[in-house]
Amino acid sequence: MALLRVRHCRALLYCRRVPPRCPACGGDLRGPAGLSAAPARLPCPFRHGHGQPRAFLIRPSRGTFLLDYDGHCDLHVGITNSQGVVYNYDQEGVHRDGSGWEQCISVALVQPDMWELLQQWDNLLEEFSLEEAWLPESREASRYLTLHQQLAHRDFYIVPLAEQEQEQESVAGNQSLLE
């Protein structure tokens, strides 16, 4: 349902349906008050991300802006190709989503007069998503954040080593003792 704005009695009234009387002054809102008092529909800032080609998208990590976002939750970002497929990254790696971005903030990245970039956009985005050079930095940051968050509330954080890593640690430790 749309959000409406009505100007009346030196105030702005926001509502979903215009009431018969102004809640501020009690005056009639349905009568002939002129064009300045006519309800104005507020444009919704959220877009269907899959219909926004070559755009930077922002949405809550969980749920939707209108139903779940409280201003304190994490946000998730993605970039669309020319067909509206959203390339995004999380702890599991790069994803290409054809759904799930139906309510998001959209910022156009490529202007219509950038003909050469328009033609190459999909190939460049796909190539970038397949490169592994930037993945270690992302994983390193994720591990660092996990450690930082764990150590913010306690003095130490223990991560058990896999059996193979324990053997490598033992060999390396024995070698350093011998040197």
Question: What is the pLDDT, as a whole number, of residue 72?
Answer: 87
Question: What is the pLDDT, as a whole number, of residue 150?
Answer: 85
Question: What is the pLDDT, as a whole number, of residue 177?
Answer: 43
Which of 50, 57, 53 shows the shortest CA–CA distance to 117?
Answer: 53
Question: What is the pLDDT, as a whole number, of residue 172?
Answer: 56
- Residues 24-44 have pLDDT tens digits of 888 888 766 655 678 899 999
Question: What is the pLDDT, as a whole number, of residue 99?
Answer: 96
- Residues 126-156 have pLDDT tens digits of 998 887 655 655 766 667 778 888 888 888 7
**Ranges under pLDDT 70 in the chain:** 1, 31-36, 132-137, 139-142, 163-179
Question: What is the pLDDT, as a whole number, of residue 51?
Answer: 97
